[in-house]
């Protein structure tokens, strides 16, 4: 039966490649969140043709949702002959902007040398196509399955998932008893199981000053110099501390086992979109966006307290130093247990196909798993899918055809294990 399922998936290779290409040809670039509706309709029509009940859901009023750029999602469900657990495959349909240096058309869906090229090929339309083919092969092989299978294509993962998985989770789409197990086919490589991700705190720190004539800065108070003092304190006090912290969890790549912080953007004084001559002013405000990623051994409260401590010390020691901190986005680390049913099922699939143990990893950045755990209270969730993580968001992004086929086999095996509660031999 195992051989028959594998053969069936092999025979669908051309179909899998065609579907990945079709999905890439919808330029679902986010921001702004373009072409979501035709993309989810394409997926929905295909699944409706295979007996799925299909719902199209617009996350009205979520960030970025307008009549020009509506946040459309699709959730498709097929119930089996008898009641049982539900396995859900969730993929985001949005992709990031193309950026420069492409040598192929990013939205043509080009097949070359055993690879599919295009924006979103790896992150994550290749994974979405692989999960659809896995499910279709499974349904042909086991038409009298018990339980239910769901496939969703969701919006806005690249911008936080608020118009996608978070919105659906708030409406019960990612909670038991509707759903029991979730696989997110993000590009984490076909022999690795991603148990979760580091935490994130994105914040804006503003230092404040007082405007005055630039020829007499002593009559004002320069917010940019205050920001300089803060960066100096971060360099000397915070970064060396972060470098020392090493997680015992298998976070990839290795550099992300440490706690990290990035300065995403900084701006002080006059707007730099002005092309004329500037006026001489002492800046009264300087704003910096920081992106602090933390390991499971740390907590969000601890991360924020550490930064507040440095700011408060500067306020005491530096004349006229004043600041304001605004949260932009914050999530605790998310971590699924290694003995959770979905982990055991996918691990078994990897063993059966590759004759080796899977690698268990954690992602350096977050993805939609956070909403499924935090809002849906569903903890049996992992990321598993084809593609090389490092290629995500790069020019000439691609996904290997053989990798898509292999991961479809692993997904189909995991599906069998979770629905029939026994291994396929
Ligand atoms: Zn992704």
Whether 294 is in a domain gets the answer yes
Whether 25 is in a domain gets the answer yes
User: What are 151-194's pLDDT values in tens digits?
Assistant: 999 999 999 999 999 999 999 999 999 999 999 999 999 999 99
Distance 365 CA to ligand 1 centre (A): 10
Give the end of a domain, one of 288, 307, 331: 331
Other Cβ atoms within 10 Å of 376 Cβ, number: 23
Residue 90 and residue 213 share a domain? no
Residue 243 and residue 116 share a domain? no
Distance 248 CA to ligand 1 centre (A): 25
Q: Say whether pLDDT at 1 is over 90.
A: no
Which protein residues have their CB within 5 A of the ion that is ligand 1? 123-124, 186
Per-residue confidence (pLDDT) for residue 208, from 0 to 100? 98
Phi and psi, residue 269, nearest 5°:
75, -150
Torsional sign, CA 401, 180, 159, 265: negative
CATH number for the domain harbouring residue 259: 3.30.70.360
User: What are 52-95's pLDDT values in tens digits?
Assistant: 999 999 999 999 999 999 999 999 999 999 999 999 999 999 99
C-alpha span between 165 and 154 (Å, rounded): 6
Residue burial 217-239, b: 16+ Cβ < 10 Å; e: rest: beebbbbbbbbeebeebbeeebe
Whether 79 is in a domain gets the answer yes
Distance 378 CA to ligand 1 centre (A): 20
Contact 385, 184 (CB under 8 A): yes
Distance 123 CA to ligand 1 centre (A): 5
Q: Tell me if residue 215 falls in helix, strand or coil.
A: coil
User: What are 61-71's pLDDT values in tens digits?
Assistant: 999 999 999 99
In this predicted model, which residue has the larger pLDDT, 278 or 139? 139
Whether 282 is in a domain gets the answer yes
Indicate the pTM of the whole model.
Answer: 0.91
DSSP secondary structure of 88-106: EEEEE--B----S--SS-T
> Which of the four pLDDT bands, split at 50, 70 and 90, describes residue 278?
confident
Residue 180 and residue 249 share a domain? no
Q: Say whether pLDDT at 425 is over 80.
A: no
Residue 187 and residue 229 share a domain? no
User: What are 101-147's pLDDT values in tens digits?
Assistant: 999 999 999 999 999 999 999 999 999 999 999 999 999 999 999 99
Give the end of a domain, one of 331, 347, 362: 331
Phi and psi, residue 213, nearest 5°:
-70, 135
Q: Say whether pLDDT at 276 is over 90.
A: no
Residue 370 and residue 313 share a domain? no
Residue 242 and residue 151 share a domain? no
C-alpha span between 5 and 376 (Å, rounded): 32
User: What are 361-418's pLDDT values in tens digits?
Assistant: 999 999 999 999 999 999 999 999 999 988 999 999 999 999 999 999 999 999 999 9
Distance 190 CA to ligand 1 centre (A): 15
Distance 166 CA to ligand 1 centre (A): 15
Residue 251 and residue 115 share a domain? no
Distance 382 CA to ligand 1 centre (A): 13
Residue burial 47-72, b: 16+ Cβ < 10 Å; e: rest: beeeebebeebbbeebebbeeebbbb
Distance 124 CA to ligand 1 centre (A): 5
> Which of the four pLDDT bands, split at 50, 70 and 90, describes residue 422?
confident
Residue 285 and residue 161 share a domain? no
CATH number for the domain harbouring residue 28: 3.40.630.10
Residue 311 and residue 221 share a domain? yes
Distance 187 CA to ligand 1 centre (A): 7
Residue 340 and residue 302 share a domain? no
Whether 213 is in a domain gets the answer yes
What is the residue range of 89's domain?
2-197+333-420
Residue 359 and residue 321 share a domain? no
Q: What angle do CA 374, 72, 127 make, to 5 degrees?
A: 70
Residue 203 DSSP label: E
Query: Which residue is it, tokens 């617009």?
Result: 58
Give the end of a domain, one of 278, 302, 331: 331
Q: Say whether pLDDT at 274 is over 80.
A: no
Look at the chain and report how many structural domains it folds into. 2
User: What are 314-373's pLDDT values in tens digits?
Assistant: 999 999 999 999 999 999 999 999 999 999 999 999 999 999 999 999 999 999 999 999
Residue 27 and residue 160 share a domain? yes
Whether 425 is in a domain gets the answer no
Q: Say whether pLDDT at 25 is over 80.
A: yes
Alpha-helical (H) ranges within 205-299 are 223-233, 239-244
Distance 154 CA to ligand 1 centre (A): 11
Q: Say whether pLDDT at 272 is over 80.
A: no
Distance 93 CA to ligand 1 centre (A): 9
């Amino acid at each position: 039966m195992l051989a028959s399922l594998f053969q069936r998936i092999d025979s669908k290779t051309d179909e899998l490649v065609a579907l990945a290409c079709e999905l890439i040809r919808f330029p679902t670039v986010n921001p702004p969140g373009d072409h979501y509706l035709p993309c989810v309709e394409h997926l929905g029509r295909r699944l409706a043709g295979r007996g799925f009940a299909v719902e199209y859901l617009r996350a009205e009023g979520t960030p970025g949702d307008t009549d020009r750029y509506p946040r459309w999602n699709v959730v498709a469900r097929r119930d089996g002959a008898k009641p049982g657990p539900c396995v859900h495959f969730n993929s985001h349909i949005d992709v990031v902007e193309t950026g420069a240096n492409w040598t192929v058309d990013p939205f043509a869906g080009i097949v070359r040398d055993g690879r599919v090229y295009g924006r979103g090929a790896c992150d994550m339309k290749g994974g979405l196509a692989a999960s659809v083919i896995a499910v279709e092969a499974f349904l042909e092989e086991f038409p009298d399955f018990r339980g239910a299978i769901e496939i969703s294509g969701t919006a806005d993962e690249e911008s936080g998932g608020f118009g996608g998985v978070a919105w659906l989770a708030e409406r019960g789409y990612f909670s038991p008893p509707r759903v029991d197990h979730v696989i997110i086919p993000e590009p984490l490589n076909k022999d690795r199981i991603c148990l979760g991700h580091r935490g994130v705190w994105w914040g804006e720190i503003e230092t404040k000053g007082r405007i005055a004539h630039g020829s007499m800065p002593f009559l004002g108070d320069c917010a940019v110099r205050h920001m300089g003092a803060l960066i100096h304190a971060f360099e000397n006090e915070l970064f060396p501390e972060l470098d020392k912290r090493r997680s015992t969890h298998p976070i990839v790549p290795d550099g992300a086992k440490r706690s990290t912080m990035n300065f995403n953007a900084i701006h002080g004084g006059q707007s730099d979109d002005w092309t004329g001559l500037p006026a001489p002013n002492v800046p009264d405000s300087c704003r910096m966006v920081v992106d602090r990623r933390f390991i499971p051994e740390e907590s969000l409260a601890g991360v924020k307290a550490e930064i507040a401590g440095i700011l408060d010390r500067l306020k005491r020691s530096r004349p006229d130093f004043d600041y304001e901190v605004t949260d932009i986005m914050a999530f605790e680390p998310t971590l699924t247990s290694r003995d959770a049913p979905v982990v055991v099922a996918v691990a078994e699939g990897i063993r059966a196909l590759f004759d080796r143990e899977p690698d268990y990893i954690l992602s350096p950045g977050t993805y939609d798993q956070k909403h499924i755990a935090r809002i849906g209270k569903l903890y049996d969730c992992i990321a598993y899918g084809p593609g090389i993580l490092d290629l995500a968001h790069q020019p000439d992004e691609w996904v290997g055809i053989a990798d898509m086929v292999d991961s479809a086999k692993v997904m189909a095996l995991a599906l069998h294990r979770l629905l029939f509660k026994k291994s396929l031999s």
